[in-house]
Amino acid sequence: MIDAQLCFQSFGAHIFMASNSEPIRENNPAPDAAREPDIQANHSRPDIPPTLGVSTPPPTETHYKVTCEPEKDWWDKFKPFVEMAGIVILSVYTWYTIKMYYANKEAADAAQEGAAAANNAARIAGNALLSSKQSSGDTLDQMKNQSKSMLKSATASGVQADAAKNAVENAKQSLQATIEGFHLEQRPWAIPFQFQLGAEPENGKDIKVTIWVENTGKTPALDVIPTVSTSLWGLEPPQPDFSSIIPIVSRGILAPEVKNFSFDTGADHFKPKLPDVAAYLDARKRIYIHGIIRYRDSFNDHHWTTFCIWHKVGTPLDRFDYCEHGNDVDHREAHEQR
């Protein structure tokens, strides 16, 4: 585009110079030649040499065709088609816009009609509401009164329900207390009451002590399992851990007031060594027997009795005294086993 403008300007200048150029006249002074000396005298500067005006010859026709008639590029070839495509797209867009305008106008008209219909329906509903407001108010008052009555009844029923619940809970507690009292009154009590040492301790021989047990309760003692531990000590030893001691392989039934139930410490297989036997014979040590008797009652509650006895040299073989600690019975620990 810029090259075309330059060519147009050059061509215009060429035409202008060709139309205005005239040959230099010889010996034909200008009409105002008489005044030139005055003008030059007034405006000339001696230090600037005079210049001669020389006109440039016009460009040739061949040069004009080469420089001002360029070949067409790809844009010049496709520009008409692009302009036609733009016109078609603009026409389609205009047609679609007009169509959307009419569609929106129809929708707006339909919405306006619907709003008018809804307004009429709301007006009719408002009139109906006003007409039924009085009757609704009366009905609401009746419902409030009924609700108050029902609340009072519910409150009274709640109080009665709480009272009934408390009564049931008290009855359950009383029944449980009665059952526990009955179990306690009827339960068996396995108590060791007699002890007999087979012989004085000897080096390498088992110490054997026979223990008799009596049931002083009112019901049989079931699954009676005794466990014992024998030792020689100078002072009362601590109570052993019966869970680590192998119980006597015996599981019997001890009826009330029966006194011929017995077991011995032979299963413990305690064989004192010679220094321990010498300390015992010098009264520096005693024979200590720790034991526990486990059993259950007819109500399937588990019970136990622990005992600790000791014997010293020089006393009868059936003479045993109770230790300061280790003699106890279960304290109504139902369904538990020591």
Digit-coded pLDDT (tens) for 94-108: 988 998 888 888 888
* pLDDT 10s digits, 238-270: 988 888 776 666 678 999 988 889 999 987 889
pLDDT at 50 over 80: no
Is 311 in contact with 302 (CB distance < 8 Å)?
no
Average pLDDT, the chain: 79
pLDDT at 177: 84
Q: Which residue has the tokens 């192998």?
A: 246
The HSE-up count of residue 237 (CA atoms within 13 Å, CB side) is: 20
Which of 11-25, 41-55, 114-128, 204-218 has the highest average model confidence (pLDDT)?
204-218
State how far the Cα of 334 lies from the Cα of 297, in Å rounded to an integer: 10
Confidence class for position 52, pLDDT limits 50, 70, 90: very low
User: Beta 261-264 vs 286-296: how paired, if at all?
Assistant: unpaired
State how far the Cα of 137 lies from the Cα of 133, in Å rounded to an integer: 6
Please name each of the domains of the chain with its CATH number: 190-329 (2.60.40.10)
pLDDT at 38: 47
Q: Is 303 helix (H, G, I), strand (E, B) or coil?
A: strand
* pLDDT 10s digits, 274-297: 999 999 999 999 999 999 999 999
| Mean local confidence (pLDDT), 42-62 | 52
| Mean local confidence (pLDDT), 1-24 | 49
State how far the Cα of 302 lies from the Cα of 196, in Å rounded to an integer: 28
State how far the Cα of 213 lies from the Cα of 259, in Å rounded to an integer: 6
pTM metric for this prediction? 0.49
State how far the Cα of 252 lies from the Cα of 240, in Å rounded to an integer: 24
